[in-house]
């Protein structure tokens, strides 16, 4: 199961929990109804102390109070689950997971978009810093508008806001450059992971053990049984980047047995 599939399953559960709590809140709210039709107590009638109806009246109020408390608790939990579901949905919409089938293509498209943004920023700054430098001439404004910018936004570029100079601050492109570098690293890691996965599929028993010296990495073609995973954890192996890493001498017998 991929990470996206796991999150989608969590999202489905949160939605179901939110709906269940919402229904429970509505049901308890209905039970808290003290109208004459529901409780049999005339509207506005006080508790008649000493009357035979006193006990029934007090019990009705107590039941209604408890039901209202449960209704509020269920409504709060419904809101909690709905908020968690919204967070999961947002994460699914904006994230590129390494085990997504199209992860490389999606990251390369993201890199291309960031590179285009950085190039546009450079073009904007080149216009703003033309002579006369930092002066919003009509020609400069027209050139910026031609790049898709509104006139008010174009004029603001010539203001030295917060002492950062005119134009787009240098840290903006620096941040974009950092994100591009990180995305490129992820592309290489995903490609290497896929290569290891392919090698594992072709390896004996669907298990690929690589590494020179004391430390090795173990890649499985398919997710192994829970017992094998527990053996790896007990032997000090840790999961990362699509494989299990640890000491060669600590490889569990359950893993070496798969290659025989």
Summarize pLDDT for 133-162 with one digit per residue, the tens.
Answer: 888 999 999 999 999 999 999 999 998 877
Structure confidence at residue 212 (pLDDT): 84
Q: Do 255 and 218 form a contact (C-beta atoms < 8 A)?
A: yes
> How does residue 163 score in pLDDT terms, banded at 50, 70 and 90?
confident
> How does residue 242 score in pLDDT terms, banded at 50, 70 and 90?
confident
Q: What is the pLDDT of residues 58-78, one digit of tens each?
A: 888 888 999 999 999 999 999
Contacts of 42 (CB under 8 A, 6+ apart): 36
Structure confidence at residue 57 (pLDDT): 85
More confident residue, 42 or 216: 216
Q: Is 43 a residue whose pLDDT tops 90? A: no
Q: Is 8 a residue whose pLDDT tops 80? A: yes
What percent of the chain has pLDDT above 70? 100
Helix 54-94 × helix 3-31 angle, to 10°:
160
């Amino acid at each position: 199961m991929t990470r996206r599939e796991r999150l989608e399953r969590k999202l489905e559960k949160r939605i179901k929990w939110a709906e269940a709590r919402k229904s429970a809140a509505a049901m308890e709210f209905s039970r808290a109804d003290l109208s004459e039709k529901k409780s049999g107590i005339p509207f506005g009638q006080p508790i008649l102390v000493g009357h035979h109806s006193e006990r029934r009246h007090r019990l009705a109020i107590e039941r209604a109070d408890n039901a209202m408390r449960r209704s509020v608790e269920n409504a709060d939990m419904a809101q909690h689950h709905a908020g968690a579901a919204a967070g999961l949905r947002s994460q699914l919409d904006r994230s590129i997971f390494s085990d997504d089938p199209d992860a490389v293509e999606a990251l390369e498209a993201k890199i291309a978009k960031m590179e285009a943004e950085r190039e546009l920023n450079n073009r904007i700054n080149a216009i703003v810093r033309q002579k006369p430098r930092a002066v919003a001439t009509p020609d400069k404004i027209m050139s910026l508008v031609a790049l898709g910018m509104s006139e008010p936004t174009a004029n603001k570029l010539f203001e030295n806001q917060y002492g950062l100079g005119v134009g787009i601050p240098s840290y903006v492109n620096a941040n974009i450059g950092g994100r591009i570098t990180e995305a490129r690293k992820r592309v290489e890691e995903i490609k290497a992971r896929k290569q290891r996965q392919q090698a594992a599929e072709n390896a004996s028993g669907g298990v690929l053990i690589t590494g020179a010296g004391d430390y090795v990495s173990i890649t499985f073609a398919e997710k192994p049984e829970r017992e094998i995973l527990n053996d790896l954890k007990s032997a000090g192996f840790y999961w990362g980047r699509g494989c299990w890493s640890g000491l060669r001498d600590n490889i569990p017998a359950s893993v070496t047995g798969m290659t025989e």
